[in-house]
Amino acid sequence: MSEIKNPLGEIISDEQFEQLQKKGVLDFIAIRNIGIRKEYFRLRELRINSNACIELLMDEYKSLAFETIRKIVMNK
C-alpha cells in the first residue's frame, strides 16, 4: 500500500492518520476525493476558472476523467 499525505490534517494528526492507514481502516477513494476538493478550491481562490482547475487536477489524477473530477468537486 502506498503512503499518501494526510488530507485530513484539520481533523486528525499525521500520526493518527498513519496509524489508521496501517490498520487498513481508511476509505482511500473518499480521502482522495477530499484532497481533490481541497486542491480545486485552493486553485479557485487563485482566480483560476473552473475548467482550468479541473484540467490541472486531471494532470495530477491521470486515471480520472474531466466529468469524474467535476462530479467530485461539485458534490459534497
Domain that holds residue 26: 14-74
Number of domains the chain contains: 1
DSSP 5: -
Specify the amino acid at residue 49. N
Grid coordinates representing 69 are: 473530477
**Which residues are CB-contacts of 20 (< 8 A; sequence separation ≥ 6)?**
12, 26
What are 15-56's pLDDT values in tens digits?
999 999 899 999 989 989 999 999 999 999 999 999 999 999
Q: Does 6 fall in a domain?
A: no
Following CA atoms 34, 35, 40, 42 in sequence, which dihedral angle do they give, to the nearest 10 degrees? Answer: 110
The span from the CA of 25 to the CA of 66, in Å, is 29
pTM above 0.85, yes or no: no
In the prediction, which pLDDT does 6 show? 86
Q: Does 66 fall in a domain?
A: yes
